[in-house]
């Protein structure tokens, strides 16, 4: 039975050629240079050296094609195969020992594990017959054989990668560090690997444990992130008002200040923020962007947990609205030009947090980073009409789909809750009058009822839900953005983006529906409601 993703080079005998690159020999050596396969002669040619096919390993891709282990992922797969080879020998020896002591269930289990790692042929068949004939019970000795084999198999696997990591001095630095990280994961107590990590870790990094530094090095620093200077103003401010152990990380255009040392947690949070920023950059692309200094960054505070986030958000924003933040995972404070988040390294929690992350970073970006204008500070003093665009556009962005692994996003979501909500509100006669909604100021929004006395039904959720007028404002505003962006092949898209610019730069004469979109608020609202019904009925934008 062939190990997943890997195959012996012998399996390539029917193929005319393979891609050039590196290959791994059965003894763990890595063949360097231009490697070619001569299928007719069943040999691999490395420069002027000819080797038999059965002495070399290739890596199998998910689509079934065989390629050389020339990049890091395929190299690791090849080492995985070598580790499996070593572990297979352990399981075979354990199966023979279990047969000898008369432990039939244990012996069969050992043979199963060896076969899963490539043990096959007459020898495997013979050992299985022996295991099936044994009628004894495992007992204490059988359990010890199993435990010893599990420990030895894992150790043999780790030793392969550890050996390659320690032999990687001639490799590019990034490859050597990734090999070390994999080695310490598979063989956490390997003294040689641990010594090497201690040798390369800088003495003054803020993470304490050199293994944590290695995670950052591989996961984040190699992607362009760098530590902020100790004299960074925002970092000094955070240390004086929050935590002395906070450090700064710069991932342009973001300055992240945090005490969180998990590279995965920081990486996921930063990843979604930067993906949302890429989407916003593409939307507001302009041939004449506003010039910005390198130190003009979006300041983000990432807290260690929810309790710290709530405590410091209330204290540092001086808003006194802790109740308003109780169910949030993040918020943007325009007066401080600062966003605050917490993040949980849990997939279910992450799904809930992504929307908040995109929503708040949209507020932050529109206020401070839009390439079409310097900043949105002017509108704070004006309290202009058209506040719907602030929460509506952020919610519109939130309702998109963002794939961190592929680095892609899609701003149309057929399960958009705002569109569903508008359909339900219309049926129940509880829509905020559109002509009123489009002219509300932020102060006017604050006067809407916060009581959850409106009943709605959504297509994608069972049962009924309750919401307030303020929630209805968010949904109707976002639905208007969906309509203006997607409907009629994007006919109104430019007008929507111009409206954002008009609001954030205080162009009051452009904020009423007629000068902005050519129709009054009632007619625009009717078009939004019609679009929401069409999406519910199956409308999708053209591919």
pLDDT given at position 403: 94
> Is a pLDDT exceeding 70 seen at residue 55?
no
| 379 vs 160 pLDDT, higher one | 160
Same domain as 261, residue 193: no
In the structure, what pLDDT confidence band is assigned to residue 20 with cuts at 50, 70 and 90? very low
**Residue 382: inside a domain, yes or no?**
no
Cα separation, 329 vs 342, in Å, equals 6
Lowest mean pLDDT among 14-28, 167-181, 449-463, 497-511: 14-28
The tokens for 86 are 């070593």
Same domain as 85, residue 59: no
In the structure, what pLDDT confidence band is assigned to residue 308 with cuts at 50, 70 and 90? very high
Cα separation, 315 vs 21, in Å, equals 58
Rounded mean pLDDT, 524-533: 98
Same domain as 507, residue 408: yes
Among 215, 244, 263, which residue terminates a domain? 215
Residue in 514, 500, 540, 493 with CA at minimum distance from that of residue 366: 500
pLDDT given at position 120: 86
Same domain as 203, residue 336: no
pLDDT given at position 9: 31
Same domain as 76, residue 65: no
| 51 vs 311 pLDDT, higher one | 311
Q: What is the DSSP letter of 539?
A: -
Mean pLDDT, the chain, integer: 84
pTM of the full structure: 0.78
Rounded mean pLDDT, 372-401: 86
**Element at 484 (helix H, strand E):** helix 469-490
In the structure, what pLDDT confidence band is assigned to residue 440 with cuts at 50, 70 and 90? very high
Rounded mean pLDDT, 96-121: 83
Structural contact between residues 186 and 84, judged by C-beta atoms closer than 8 angstroms: no
pLDDT given at position 13: 29
* Domain span at 364: 231-373
pLDDT given at position 167: 74
Rounded mean pLDDT, 490-498: 97
> 């390198």: which residue's tokens?
294
Three-state secondary-structure class, residue 254? strand
In the structure, what pLDDT confidence band is assigned to residue 11 with cuts at 50, 70 and 90? very low
Lowest mean pLDDT among 52-56, 193-197, 295-299, 394-398: 52-56
Same domain as 432, residue 324: no
Same domain as 255, residue 307: yes
Residue in 387, 397, 499 with CA at minimum distance from that of residue 446: 387
Structural contact between residues 162 and 180, judged by C-beta atoms closer than 8 angstroms: no
| Most confidently modeled range among 81-95, 148-162, 184-198, 474-488 | 474-488
Outline where 173-232 has alpha helix (H). 173-186, 191-200, 210-219
> Is a pLDDT exceeding 70 seen at residue 16?
no
Same domain as 182, residue 78: yes
Among 41, 70, 99, which residue terminates a domain? 70
pLDDT given at position 61: 56
Rounded mean pLDDT, 425-450: 95
In the structure, what pLDDT confidence band is assigned to residue 37 with cuts at 50, 70 and 90? low
- pLDDT, tens only, 60-96: 555 555 555 556 776 677 677 677 778 888 889 888 8
Q: How many domains does one find in the chain?
A: 4
- pLDDT, tens only, 399-413: 999 999 899 999 999
| 459 vs 273 pLDDT, higher one | 273
pLDDT given at position 515: 97
The tokens for 255 are 């300055």
Q: What is the DSSP letter of 14?
A: T
| 274 vs 164 pLDDT, higher one | 274
- pLDDT, tens only, 316-355: 443 344 446 767 889 999 888 999 999 887 777 787 789 9
Among 24, 45, 70, which residue terminates a domain? 70
Cα separation, 491 vs 494, in Å, equals 8
In the structure, what pLDDT confidence band is assigned to residue 189 with cuts at 50, 70 and 90? confident
**Residue 394: inside a domain, yes or no?**
no
Cα separation, 248 vs 236, in Å, equals 10
Long-range contacts formed by 279-287: CB under 8 A, 24+ apart: 279/397, 279/400, 279/402, 279/409, 279/411, 280/362, 280/365, 280/366, 280/369, 280/370, 280/397, 281/371, 283/497, 284/370, 284/371, 284/372, 284/497, 284/500, 285/371, 286/371, 286/372
In the structure, what pLDDT confidence band is assigned to residue 447 with cuts at 50, 70 and 90? very high
pLDDT given at position 158: 80
> Is a pLDDT exceeding 80 seen at residue 539?
yes
Residue in 278, 279, 269, 270 with CA at minimum distance from that of residue 250: 270
Lowest mean pLDDT among 322-336, 343-357, 361-375, 383-397: 322-336
**Residue 269: inside a domain, yes or no?**
yes
Q: What's the CATH code of the domain at 285?
A: 3.40.30.160
Lowest mean pLDDT among 74-78, 163-167, 354-358, 390-394: 74-78
**Residue 237: inside a domain, yes or no?**
yes
pLDDT given at position 27: 57
pLDDT given at position 28: 57
Same domain as 322, residue 450: no
Structural contact between residues 312 and 246, judged by C-beta atoms closer than 8 angstroms: no
The tokens for 403 are 């794939």
**Residue 220: inside a domain, yes or no?**
no
Helix, strand, coil share of the chain (percent; to 5): 55, 15, 35
**Residue 156: inside a domain, yes or no?**
yes
Cα separation, 303 vs 56, in Å, equals 50
**Residue 224: inside a domain, yes or no?**
no
Residue in 518, 521, 520, 502 with CA at minimum distance from that of residue 510: 502
pLDDT given at position 89: 87
Rounded mean pLDDT, 357-364: 96
> Is a pLDDT exceeding 80 seen at residue 141?
no
Rounded mean pLDDT, 257-261: 96
Report how far apart, in Å, the C-alpha atoms of 472 and of each of 388, 418, 429 are: 11, 9, 12
The distance in angstroms from the start CA to the end CA of the chain is 43
In the structure, what pLDDT confidence band is assigned to residue 59 with cuts at 50, 70 and 90? low
Structural contact between residues 201 and 177, judged by C-beta atoms closer than 8 angstroms: no
Cα separation, 79 vs 57, in Å, equals 10
**Residue 542: inside a domain, yes or no?**
no
Same domain as 186, residue 123: yes
Same domain as 211, residue 75: yes
Same domain as 302, residue 313: yes
> Is a pLDDT exceeding 60 seen at residue 26?
no
């Amino acid at each position: 039975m062939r190990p997943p993703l890997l195959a012996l080079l012998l399996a390539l005998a029917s193929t005319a050629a393979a891609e050039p690159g590196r290959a791994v020999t059965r003894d763990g050596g890595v063949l360097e240079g231009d490697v070619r396969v001569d299928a007719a002669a069943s040999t691999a040619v490395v420069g002027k050296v000819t080797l038999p096919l059965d002495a070399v390993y290739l890596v199998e891709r998910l689509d079934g094609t065989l390629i050389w282990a020339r990049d890091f992922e395929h190299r690791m797969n090849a080492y995985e195969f070598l580790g499996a080879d070593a572990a297979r020998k352990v399981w075979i020896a354990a199966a023979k020992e279990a047969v000898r002591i008369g432990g039939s269930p244990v012996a069969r289990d050992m043979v199963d594990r060896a076969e899963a790692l490539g043990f096959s042929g007459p020898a495997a068949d013979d050992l299985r017959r022996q295991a099936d004939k044994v009628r004894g019970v495992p007992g204490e000795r059988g359990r010890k054989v199993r435990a010893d084999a599990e420990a030895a198999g894992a150790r043999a696997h780790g030793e392969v990668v550890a050996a390659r990591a320690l032999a990687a001095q001639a490799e590019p630095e990034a490859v050597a560090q990734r090999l070390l990280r994999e080695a310490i994961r598979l063989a956490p107590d390997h003294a040689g690997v641990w010594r090497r990590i201690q040798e390369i870790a800088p003495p003054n990094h803020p993470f304490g444990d050199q293994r944590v530094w290695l995670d950052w090095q591989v996961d984040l620093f190699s992607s362009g992130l760098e530590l902020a200077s100790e004299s960074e103003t925002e970092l000094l401010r955070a240390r004086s008002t929050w935590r002395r152990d906070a450090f700064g990380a710069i991932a342009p255009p973001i300055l992240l200040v945090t005490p969180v040392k998990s590279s995965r947690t920081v990486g996921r949070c930063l990843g979604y923020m930067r993906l949302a920023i890429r989407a916003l950059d593409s939307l507001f692309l302009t041939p004449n962007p506003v010039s910005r200094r390198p130190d003009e960054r979006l300041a983000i505070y990432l807290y260690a947990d929810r309790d710290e986030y709530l405590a410091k958000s209330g204290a540092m924003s001086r808003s006194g609205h802790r109740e308003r933040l109780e169910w949030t995972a993040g918020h943007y404070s325009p007066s401080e030009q600062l966003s605050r988040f917490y993040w949980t390294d849990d997939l279910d929690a992450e799904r809930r947090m992504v929307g908040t992350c995109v929503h708040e970073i949209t507020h932050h970006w529109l206020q401070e980073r839009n390439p079409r204008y310097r900043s949105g500070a002017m509108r704070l003093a004006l309290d202009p009409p058209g506040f719907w665009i602030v929460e509506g556009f952020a919610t519109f962005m939130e309702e998109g789909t963002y794939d961190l692994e592929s680095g892609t996003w899609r701003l149309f979501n057929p399960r958009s809750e705002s569109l569903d909500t508008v359909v339900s509100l219309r049926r129940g006669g509880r829509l905020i009058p559109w002509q009123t909604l489009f002219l509300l100021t932020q102060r006017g929004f604050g006067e809407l009822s916060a009581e959850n006395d409106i009943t709605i039904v959504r297509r994608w959720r069972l049962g009924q839900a309750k919401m307030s007028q303020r929630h209805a404002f968010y949904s109707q505003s976002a639905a208007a953005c969906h309509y203006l962006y997607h409907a009629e092949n994007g006919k109104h898209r430019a007008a929507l983006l111009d409206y954002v610019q008009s609001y954030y730069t205080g162009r009051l004469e452009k904020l009423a529906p007629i000068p902005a979109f050519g129709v009054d608020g009632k007619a625009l609202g009717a078009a939004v409601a019609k679009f929401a019904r069409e999406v519910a009925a199956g409308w999708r934008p053209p591919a």
